Chain A
Amino acid sequence: MTETDVECAKQDEPIQEAGNVEIFIMGKRYEVPVGFTIMKAIEYAGYQYVRSCGCRAGFCGACATVYRKEKEQKLHFALACQALVEDGMYLVQIPFVPAYKAKYDINDLAPEDNIILSIYPEIARCVSCNTCTKSCPQDINVMMYIQNALRGNITKAAEISFDCIQCGLCAMRCPADIKHYHVGQLARRLRGKYIDPESKELNARMEEMDKGKYLDEVDKMMSMDKDTILDLYKKRKIEAKGDLDEEVDQ
């Protein structure tokens, strides 16, 4: 369907007023209800997800979506499970990104200035075009964490990339063929393993689990009926809020 056809269709039927928007899934026109997420709209249009769909809650990064709106010059990026459909969206999903991931044993590395550069030397090809940042559905300053990796600032690279969900759109757009999300992951692993202080609480909890401290609780829950479990779930303590506040105050 050409853009002229779209114009004609629009004149014939005022789609927006009917509570629908017009979208194009891989070039094919559909009308879907206003307020749907892209994911829901694609399913509404009759597609069944085999790939490109995971947690449906904005965390897993499986539903990377690329779209361009009618008559717009710029390409846009989103997570299908999070972004709402808008009139005139031309949509396609990227279920998989071919991006080589280096093999390394984190225990054999040291958090040295050039460690990331030695594992992913292509980060030196960054021309600071910032296309990666503009393609990130999580609004991460992707270029800046690559730049920090380049200058050996592992701590900062890990911090900036923290919200990455590994959708890979940055790597698909990079003119220097950098695999940003793997770089960010390496930075976070290095920081967690070597730079940040060890979490004593985590170690204590792991030890408790190894000793089987919670096995009785698990067994107890396994024998409960669904309603009891639901009831317990609703009454659960979400965070030890008082403890946390104290920590923050210190």
Chain B
Amino acid sequence: MDMLYYPGCTLKTSAKNLETSAMAIAEKLGYRLVEMEEWNCCGVVASLTSDDLMHHLAPLRNLIHIEDQKQDKVVVLCDMCYNTLKQTDIRVKESQSDLDTLNDFMDKENDYNNTVNIMHFLEFLRDEVGFATLKKKVKKPLKGLKVMPYYGCMLLRPREVAIDDAEDPKIFSDLIKALGAEVVNNPFNIECCGSYRTIDQKELTSRRAKNISSFALEHDADVIMLSCPLCKYNLDVRGKEAESMYDGYRQLPTLYFTQLIALALGLDAESLGLDLNAVDPNPILKKKGVID
């Protein structure tokens, strides 16, 4: 079955392994992620000010492209893109006058008609495929692997776009269990990773990465599982930099949820871009018998 898919720029540059692993697992589950024929930047960060409609043009234009393709559903892999598209969609569904202003501005393009359902790939796996079905397809249960789920902000905030309970999310834990791995619960799983402070305040972001990971380290977690490319960058790259800031600190490896699913489905580890990590996950995955 074909699913329309919105990639976003990051998946074409620094998070290629999120895309390749998602494509591979979708195929294994009997779906095909079909990239939108035409798309632009999601808009990166939804504008919250009431008079700044300009920044809703990019997300809205993507929604129009979806309607132009005669589709009413789209799957998004990047948390930031999901959040931005969804917030704009909600805004124009709630405010006809905002939608009219935006449609008027884009005079040559088709109007947006509020028909698109935006789904994060995680929602798709939970609600359309079902974790129970996924569990049945697991070829190589991740037995003995201790995984700390890390959500960050974009999947859960604001409440209107959240794919799960914003304060006590379970989707990652349920997924980890379905894959046969062990969940390391922790109080830092919805902490902010430092987000775009990674550009102007690298040390602050490294410090946050350490704070988030330390609890997991103390509780013998093997890897951190996440979904957001920006969280991934901060915990992985800035976390690695924290090693030189704090004596004896070792950053835990981070993996996209798609990579862990792919490993459990018995997909070729090499095609999943495990080499694109600053902190190499291969040694611990080998030690735990997840890869050969």
List A residues at the B interface (Cβ < 8 Å).
74, 113-114, 126-130, 134, 143-144, 147, 150-153, 175
Contact = CB atoms under 8 A, between A and B. Distances in A.
Contact of A127 (B13, B39, B55, B108): B55
B12 interface: yes
Contacts of B109: 130
B40 A113 contact: no
B43 interface: yes
A113 B55 CA distance: 24
A221 B55 CA distance: 61
B105 A129 contact: yes
Nearest to A112: B13
Interface string B43-70: 1000000000011011001000000000
Chain B contact surface mostly: loop
A32 to B, nearest CB: 29
B191 interface: no
A147 B39 CA distance: 8
Interface in B1-60: 9, 12-14, 38-41, 43, 54-55, 57-58
A151 B38 CA distance: 13
B57 A128 contact: yes
Contacts of A152: 9, 12-13
Nearest to A113: B13
B132 interface: no
12 contacts: A113-B12, A113-B13, A126-B41, A128-B58, A129-B105, A130-B57, A130-B106, A144-B38, A151-B13, A151-B41, A152-B9, A175-B54
Contacts of B106: 130
Contacts of B108: 134
Closest 5 CB pairs of A and B: A128-B58, A151-B9, A113-B13, A151-B12, A147-B40
Given A151-B13, A152-B12, A127 B58 contact: yes
A128 B40 contact: yes
A150 B61 CA distance: 16
Given A129-B57, A143-B40, 6 more contacts: A129-B54, A129-B105, A130-B106, A134-B108, A144-B38, A175-B54
A74 B106 CA distance: 12
A129 B41 CA distance: 11
A128 B38 CA distance: 12
Nearest to B108: A134
B12 A144 contact: no
A143 to B, nearest CB: 7
B41 A147 contact: yes
Given A127-B54, A128-B40, A128-B43, A153 B61 contact: no
Contacts of B107: 74
Contacts of A151: 9, 12-13, 41
A142 B205 CA distance: 36
Contacts of A130: 57, 61, 106, 109
A150 B9 contact: yes
A143 B58 CA distance: 11
A12 to B, nearest CB: 35
Nearest to A141: B38
A122 B105 CA distance: 23
B23 to A, nearest CB: 17
Contact of B40 (A134, A144, A153, A175): A144
A150 B43 CA distance: 12
Nearest to A73: B107
B133 to A, nearest CB: 33
B109 to A, nearest CB: 7
